[in-house]
Amino acid sequence: MKKNLNIVIIGCSRGIGFQVTKQLTQQGHNLFCISRNKDALENLEKECRESYPEASIITYSTDISLICDNKIDLYGTIGNVFPHVDILLYNAGFLINKSFDDFQIDEAMEIFKINFFSASAVIKDLLPLMGVEKISHIVNIGSMGGFQGSAKFPGLSYYSASKAALASLSECLAEELKDRNIRVNCLALGATQTEMLAEAFPGLRAPLSAGEMAEFISHFMIMGHRYFNGKIIPVSVSTP
């Protein structure tokens, strides 16, 4: 009998996160989905239930960056639903495309707050629900822009730097949490046809759709911990 996993997804109102959620509900897993856009979350839940009437999905609308200021309690909120979190996917991301000279420091701080500090705060908040007697898998969604040695592009300095920080955090946490039965990996995604790609590279046509990338991510979330821990894995067939 297939095991239904308890999965938390941060960032699922559009693009890859939206598609990952749909695919995992169709597989029968239990999902707790968090994004800022309430209308998009309602649409996500509706689509999931239309395609799979027995879908086990809970949606929660909030600005995830509020966790950095201790204004939301994910442990209490999710702990009331899931006694154990098997998989955490941090897919929230924020991008501003402008030259380094034109960046304001508050814009750079906002990018890091969502892409890095919120990720670390979410992980820390949910640690009591993870690992110990059962393996948990934390998957952080990074970017090829933050992958060491990859091609870099103008206008994405702070975005790329924030994703590089997330990748390094993933490596560090994998070592620190390994004795608690928690695996941590980071997927450095290449070009995928999403709204964020359009913001970063206007007019570019990516080789993969959001749904195609979501297939890989969904499989990795469930199986990746068997083969990897503390790895930054490039998932890219093009540059960008």
223-235 confidence digits (pLDDT tens): 999 999 999 999 9
Q: What is the mean pLDDT of residues 166-191?
A: 96
pLDDT value at position 202?
86
Q: What is the mean pLDDT of residues 167-192?
A: 96
Instruction: Enumerate residues 6+ apart whose C-beta is below 8 A from 203.
Output: none
3-state DSSP call for residue 100? Answer: helix
pLDDT value at position 207?
81
Q: For residues 129 and 10, what is the distance between their CA atoms, to the nearest angstrom? A: 16
CA-nearest of 64, 160, 71, 151 to 114 is 64
Q: What is the mean pLDDT of residues 77-87?
A: 97
pLDDT for residue 107 is more than 60: yes
Whole-structure pTM value: 0.95
pLDDT value at position 3?
75
Domains and CATH numbers, the chain: 6-235 (3.40.50.720)
Q: For residues 212 and 162, what is the distance between their CA atoms, to the nearest angstrom? A: 25
Q: 134: which 2 tokens?
A: 């059962």
pLDDT value at position 1?
39
pLDDT for residue 240 is more than 90: no
Strand partners, 103: none
Torsions phi, psi for 81 (to 5 deg): -110, -45
pLDDT value at position 206?
82
pLDDT value at position 195?
80
The H or E element that residue 56 is part of is: strand 56-61
Q: Lowest mean pLDDT of 73-77, 180-184, 196-200, name the range.
A: 196-200
pLDDT value at position 2?
55
CA-nearest of 192, 137, 160 to 24 is 137
Give residue-wise pLDDT tens across range 144-177.
Answer: 999 999 999 999 999 999 999 999 999 999 999 9
Q: What is the mean pLDDT of residues 173-196?
A: 93
